[in-house]
């Protein structure tokens, strides 16, 4: 007798893809040992790292105004900035603004970083090579030397945060 849908590992159940994608694999339950998201090929540990990174981006006291979240797809993670609707009277969901995408390749078990253009299309970010460590790509998003992810150069802001130690912001500097 074959096992019923409820008694098999969720990753092996032929559920519709839109539902299967949202379901978490219950490691240990039903004998499942994959350690991956149900319906996807993403390593759970890396997904947890990205979610933790997103949570740490925004201080808790302003999370009612802005959030950075991770949306899980079948082969990618999308980092999005979310804000409440501009009209406080409207009972609508928060706005969603994609920041970056991390695509996972099963063949070589590596992550590739993508940036989003003004038309909400993603393109390969070629200043950092694909990496087996998702943390390497998160560091690049955080650093943002080209201001392509967050909109202002984090390197520039960090450089001048100490009051222009280099001298470029002093009044006696001719440039």
pLDDT digits (tens, 9 = 90+) for 63-116: 888 999 999 999 999 999 999 887 766 667 888 999 999 999 999 999 999 999
% of the chain surpassing 90 pLDDT: 53
Model confidence at 156: pLDDT above 50: no
Q: In what order do the strands lie in the sheet with 67-72?
A: 67-72, 76-83, 95-105, 110-116, 122-124
CA torsion angle for 157, 160, 166, 170 (degrees, to 10)?
140
* pLDDT, position 93: 81
pTM of this prediction? 0.65
């Amino acid at each position: 007798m074959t096992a019923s849908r409820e008694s098999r590992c969720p990753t092996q159940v032929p559920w519709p893809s839109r539902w299967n994608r949202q379901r978490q694999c219950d490691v240990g339950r039903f004998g499942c040992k994959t350690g991956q998201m149900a319906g996807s090929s993403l390593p759970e540990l890396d997904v947890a790292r990205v979610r933790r990174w997103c949570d740490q981006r925004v201080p808790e006291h302003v999370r009612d105004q802005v959030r950075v979240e991770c949306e899980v797809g079948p082969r990618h993670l999308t980092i999005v900035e979310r804000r409440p609707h501009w009209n406080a009277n409207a009972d609508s969901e928060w706005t969603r603004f994609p920041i970056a995408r991390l695509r996972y390749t099963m063949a070589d078990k590596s992550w590739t970083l993508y940036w989003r253009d003004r038309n909400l299309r993603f393109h390969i970010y070629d200043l950092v090579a694909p990496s087996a460590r998702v943390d390497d790509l998160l560091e690049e998003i955080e650093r943002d030397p080209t201001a392509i992810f967050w909109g202002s150069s984090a390197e520039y802001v960090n450089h001048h945060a100490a009051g222009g130690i280099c001298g470029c912001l002093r009044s006696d500097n001719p440039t």
